[in-house]
Amino acid sequence: MTQTNNNQDFEDVKRDLQLQGRKIALLLYESPMPAEIKEAWITLMPTMTLDQIDRFGTILENYFVMQQTAEIDAAYRALAEEIAAAAQNLELENEEKLLEQIEIVKKLESL
């Protein structure tokens, strides 16, 4: 039974490492970094610890996500600025209306 568990654990680790390797390969392929930098990373990876490889994969993944969402982020910022400007304009309009209302009340009180 122990041998079966050890074999299963080994197969799980092997599968996870293969998936991680494929993910890093895809992220490197999609990365805009120069080919010589990609090649340097590929050359360096066999000397890296599993923890270093994991961190490298996380960094590549985060960079990839940032690239993919940059356009969305810019559109969101522009929309947020439009909303803020509209809110400020509305606030000024409301303030002007309030001042007009106050003037009307003052005139009525003076009668």
- The string of pLDDT tens digits covering residues 69-85 is 888 888 889 999 999 98
How crowded is the C-beta side of 71, counted as CA atoms within 13 Å?
A: 1
Q: Per-residue pLDDT averaged across 27-43, rounded?
A: 91
Residues 66-100 as b/e (b if ≥16 CB within 10 A, e otherwise) read eeeeeeeeeeeeeeeeeeeeeeeeeeeeeeeeeee
Q: What is the pLDDT of residue 76?
A: 87
Q: What is the pLDDT of residue 41?
A: 92
Kindly calculate the radius of gyration of the chain based on its CA atoms and give it in whole angstroms: 30
Confidence of residue 12 (pLDDT cuts 50, 70, 90): confident
Q: What is the pLDDT of residue 34?
A: 93
Q: What is the pLDDT of residue 3?
A: 65
